[in-house]
Amino acid sequence: MNAQMDNSPEDNDRRMVTVKTIQQLKGKRPIVAVTAYDAAVARLVDPFVDWILVGDSVGNNQLGFSDTVPVTLEMMVHHTAAVCRAGPKSLVVSDVPFALAYRDLDVLLDGCCRLVQEGGARAVKIEVGSEAVIDKIKVLVEAGIPVVGHIGLLPQTVQVLGGYRSFGKHEQGRMRLLDWAKKLEQAGCFSVLGEMVAPAAALAIKEALEVPFIGIGCGVGCDGQILVINDILGLNEQVPGFVKRYGDLAGEIRKAVGFYADDVRAGRFPEPPRERG
């Protein structure tokens, strides 16, 4: 890994990353984002990234669920607060959990306020599957809550979709995504995130927007990239095809715990106390 980077651990004078910071990075350099779900990991990743997403992917990466649907607002507040207690300088964005954006505006506003006030998030991300959600986002922004709009594959709707697939491969789908991205920008979103958007469509969206377009599984034609931390570290046995593993933490954990177990059973741990000279 190249440690000589703007956000290296040696950079003790790094300023707090804000929504404005993220917007100003468009056209200057790629934006780097990862997920984190607890203080320990947030503390480790913070020096290297621009934003940390406390994703509802905590459900299928940390909590043992098969997808993100069972994740509740209480869970999101809990994990967001844990990440924020690490004191990250990266922008902390929290996911709005399943179906909350489709409830009454007051319920959505109250939920987002909890993520910000109790959790400590400085922005929220909302999966956008209807025009009505875009209208609500405008109100959230007017209320002072920065929002990332999420288009393309929406993991919260995977049960309706029947699985994971790419979006925007054909002209009609491409134009629909582009239209929604523009409407999200007009509603006040400081960034738009696309998931599994076809590369040609992703590039068109990036070029059409003044705000950054962040991709996951969208190819190189984006203003930045985001990945799930468990996938980066090699903690998950199965990962999407677009993921690049940068470590084998699962293997390292098995090896370390195996050595520990062997030492305990063989009487090598704990070691006898050493005599002081």
The set of catalytic residues is 195
Other beta carbons within 10 Å of 53: 30
Distance from C-alpha of 156 to C-alpha of 98, rounded to nearest angstrom: 6
Number of Cβ atoms within 10 Å of the Cβ of 231? 22
Map residue 150 onto helix, strand or coil: strand
Q: How far apart are CA 75 and CA 127, in angstroms?
A: 17
Backbone angles phi, psi at 32, to 5 degrees: -115, 125
Question: For the chain, what's the residue count?
Answer: 277
As a whole number of angstroms, the distance between CA 96 and CA 179 comes to: 22
Position of tokens 């594959």? 153
| Cα 218 from Cα 181, distance rounded (Å) | 14
The one-letter code for the residue type at 187 is: A
Compute the distance between CA of residue 98 and CA of residue 272 in angstroms, rounded to an integer. 53
Which secondary-structure segment (H or E) carries 52? strand 51-54
